[in-house]
Amino acid sequence: MRSDVTTQICKRYVAIMILSFVHHVTASVTHYSIPEEMKEGSVVANLATDLSLDVKTLSKREMRLDLIANKKYLDVNKETGELYVAEKIDREYLCTKTLTSCYLKMEIILENPVRIFNIELEILDMNDNAPQFRRDIIHLDISESTPTGERFSLSNAVDPDVGLNSVKTYYLSNSEHFNIEVQTGREGSKFADLILKKTLDREQHAVHNLILTAVDGGTPARSGTASVIVQVLDTNDNAPIFDKQIYSVKILENSPIGSLVIHLNATDLDEGSNSDIKYSYSLYTSEKTQETFNLNPSTGEITVKGMLNYEDFRIYDMEVIATDKGANSLSGQCTLKIIVEDMNDNHPELSIKSFQSPVSENIELDTVIAVVSVSDKDSGENGVVDLHVPDNMPFKLRESSDNYYELVVSEPLDREKVPEYDITFTVTDRGSPPLSDNETMTLELLDVNDNVPQFPQSFYTIRVMENNAPGALLSSLTAFDPDLHENQYLVYFILEKEIANTSMSMLFSINPENGNLYALKTFDYEIEKEFLFHIEARDSGSPPLSSNVTVHIIVVDQNDNAPVIVSPWRAHGSVVEEKIPRSTDKGSLVAKVIALDTDSVHNSRITYQFLQVTDATLFSLDQYNGEIRTMRMFSYRDPRHQRLVVVAKDNGVPALSATVTIKLSTVETAVKAYSDMTEVPLEYDIFSDLNLYLVIGLGSVSFLLLITILVTIVLKCQKPNTSKAAPPCRNSVISERNSTIADSTLVSNDAYWYSLFLAETRKGKLVVRQPVPKGSRYIVSSLPRSTGMSETSDSAASTLQV
């Protein structure tokens, strides 16, 4: 056991001896130098080449770097033997500024055999730091009395770099009063002294702002700046100065004690106590002046101290001194002249000798309303007075004699615009300040009937629904009269006007007191559609005045008339019987229903529809013209008798209607009820017998319809209160028997004509429906299909003789 321990100790000793030998052998130092701030991974040197080592054995010999520093700035590549930068090196951080040289010491250690190489790496300085001042702002207080050439120490700049890269010199911004001188310290550091080259004047330039720049010697050079603020301290080198050397001021007599006369102001360009000023009288100012006026030593205000009397003393002269409070006080002075002026202390007076009120509003121009006198006890300009009234009134003053004035009317008066005037007479003297007096009188105006009644509108349109109740209020037509009393009371009349021998007073009534307009009867739109008349409003003045307004009464239609079916004609409550051949083609005209409505256009628009029909597939009805046509040809299965109920409905609300029942009988073509029931060209004459009762009935109805149409035309077209012929009216359809010409069209409203013939407009043929009276003659007009029932369309006429 002991022998093993002894053996180990021997081995260690031998190793130590070998290492000591190797260290002695490798004690030589390899020197390198690099600049600071090299990038990581930059190669410093190839140790294998420089130390004559085999690159292939470096890994086996466990080559390593032992760096004598806190951080591992460098490392060695065992594959290539290169020494490279592992971390950026900051020379200013690694070495102190006092060291001119900065080294990193390290050892390269290899095993088998053990060898140690000493490496010394010098870190060269780079200009990577700019100079910096310890304080960015340097404050200096310098008195304005400081002599030129005086020096003032400034704070120096510090640069962490060394050598040429440290602070080299200083520069000062352009200044009229200062420059610098650069000094070198014992350790080679640079600093600057501020030198005053021109005398300072605080009153001209109280603060000097300078820029001090420190520049190093690196390439490129870096710099740093600091602001130098020089505050100039004041000395008492300026005397107080008044705004003026000579003052002249005027003051009125009897000014109250304490009144301000003048505020003297002296200024001192110095500051602090050197600019504080006190005011005083000079020895040349009389005692009388000092007793009459008070001088405030702090503010320089001169106020009235005793009573001022223009008759006793008119001018006061004085000298005022302004002295500062500096150590060596300086002073300035001025001269003041105070002139006492006469005071306008008497007010002017006015007296109204005559005043006429009330007056009529239609008073003539230049009529005298009042007489006024004025006076003033003062003299000179203070005793001269002026009298005036407001400019915005229709009056003017006219001087009649010395200090006497007349008030006259200068513009027309209108009580309705201004019922009364408050006239203020103002008298003013020409003193300074002027004194005045005034007196107000009220002028009332009497009303004159000079305004006609006025309606809000010149034309009234009033709509009245027909079938109105008699006595219904239609509207209130109220006029306004701005006059007063009886000139304002209005009475309303309807100006008489006859229409169709009917007076307006029989149709309408107006309340004479309030203008309410009433209807005296029930109006029927179908008879009377509108009325036009005038209403007059008359006041109760003397003479009375009046105006009128036009009233247009429009009767509004109600749907109060049901349609009247005029074709096919039938006795009241009877059924219309028609016969048609069973061989009638599809689309043939069977019958035409025509209805008339006497209401207005909107309410009289008529539409037709089937109310009942035996076979809905056999007949069609045009809802607008009432034509009944076959939709197909008759078959042997169709009944021989067809019953059609047609309703004619107007467009009113609620709608009114009328119905007609048509019984159709079909006959075979071979067997005819009448030998004349054949289609005949329009140019041939047709002869047959006519039922006497049918002729009498149709003639009576046609005669009554003709009389009604003629009466309506006369009433419509007659102009009131004139003898002129009535204007042309709408053409009427007239039908007569036995050698009387009856004008008709295929769309005629003549019921009698439609009871005799059936017009098939598509084929251009006229079919005889029943026996026609012998010797009758008819004029038939053919209209274009697109014109419908228009009475103004172009037509072609032909004559049918029976």
Token pair 């026609």: residue: 772
Enter the pTM of the model: 0.39
pLDDT at 725 over 60: no
Strands 260-263, 301-304: pairing is antiparallel
pLDDT of residue 680: 38
> Taking all residues of the chain, what is their mean pLDDT, rounded to a whole number?
79
Picking from 197, 200, 196, 194, the residue whose alpha carbon sits closest to that of residue 144 is: 200
Q: Of 358, 378, 248, which is closest to residue 302 (Cα–Cα)?
A: 248
560 to each of 522, 553, 653, 696, how far by Cα in Å?
Answer: 13, 20, 10, 31
Q: Kindly tell me if the per-residue pLDDT of 307 is higher than 70.
A: yes
pLDDT given at position 732: 30
DSSP codes, 400-458: EETTEEEEEE-S---TTT-SEEEEEEEEEE-SSS--EEEEEEEEEEE--S----B-S-S
Helix or strand holding residue 594 (H, E): strand 594-596
- 434: left (phi > 0), else alpha (psi -120 to 50), else beta? beta
Percent of the chain with pLDDT over 70: 81
Q: Look at the block and give the residue holding tokens 């007296």.
A: 351
Condensed to tens digits (0 to 9), the pLDDT of residues 62-72 reads 888 887 666 77
Binning pLDDT at 50, 70 and 90, where does residue 721 land?
very low
Mean pLDDT lowest for which of 78-92, 243-257, 611-625? 78-92
The answer to which of 38-52, 520-534, 570-584 has the lowest mean pLDDT is 570-584
Instruction: Give residues with Cβ within 8 angstroms of 787, minimum separation 6.
Output: 793
Could you give the C-alpha distances from 531 to 496, 512, 536, 713, 720, in angstroms and in order? 12, 20, 16, 17, 11
Q: Which residue has the higher pLDDT, 127 or 320?
A: 320
Q: Average pLDDT, stretch 363-384? A: 86
Give the three-class secondary structure for 96. Answer: coil
Provide the percentage of residues in the chain whose pLDDT is more than 90. Answer: 20
DSSP helix/strand/coil, 754: helix
Q: Which residues pair with 609 in a beta bridge?
A: 647
pLDDT exceeds 70 at position 76: yes
- Please report the pLDDT score of residue 562 as a whole number: 84
* CA–CA distance, 350 with 502 (Å, rounded to integer): 73
Q: Yes or no: say if 116 and 107 are a contact pair by the CB < 8 Å rule.
A: yes
Q: Specify the long-range contacts of residues 54-61, CB closer than 8 Å, at least 24 apart.
A: 55/79, 55/80, 55/81, 58/110, 60/112, 61/110, 61/111, 61/112
DSSP β-bridge partners for residue 108: 65, 117
What is d(CA 195, CA 179) in angstroms, rounded to the nearest whole number? 5
Structure confidence at residue 735 as a pLDDT band (50, 70, 90): very low
Distance of CA 658 to the CA centre of its chain: 62
Pairing label, strands 246-252, 331-341: parallel
Q: What are phi and psi of 260, to 5 degrees?
A: -75, 130
Complete DSSP assignment for 615-640: -TTTEEE-TTT-EEEESS---TTS-S
pLDDT at 566 over 80: yes
| Ramachandran sector of residue 41 (left: φ over 0; alpha: ψ -120 to 50; beta: rest) | left
Alpha carbons 104 and 94: distance in angstroms, whole number:
9
Per-residue pLDDT at 726: 34
**426-446 tens-digit pLDDT:** 999 988 888 899 999 999 988
Distance CA 620, CA 618 (A): 7
Tell me: pLDDT of 242 over 90.
Answer: yes
Q: Which of 253, 438, 434, 252 is nearest to 346 (CA)?
A: 434
Q: Within the chain, how many helices (H) and strands (E) appear?
A: 7, 57
Backbone angles phi, psi at 487, to 5 degrees: -70, -10
Q: In the predicted model, is pLDDT for residue 784 greater than 90?
A: no
Residue 297 confidence class, pLDDT cut points 50, 70, 90: very high
Q: What is the per-residue pLDDT for 650?
A: 87
CA distances from 693 to 210, 697, 706 (A): 139, 6, 20
Torsion sign across C-alpha atoms 342, 343, 345, 351:
positive
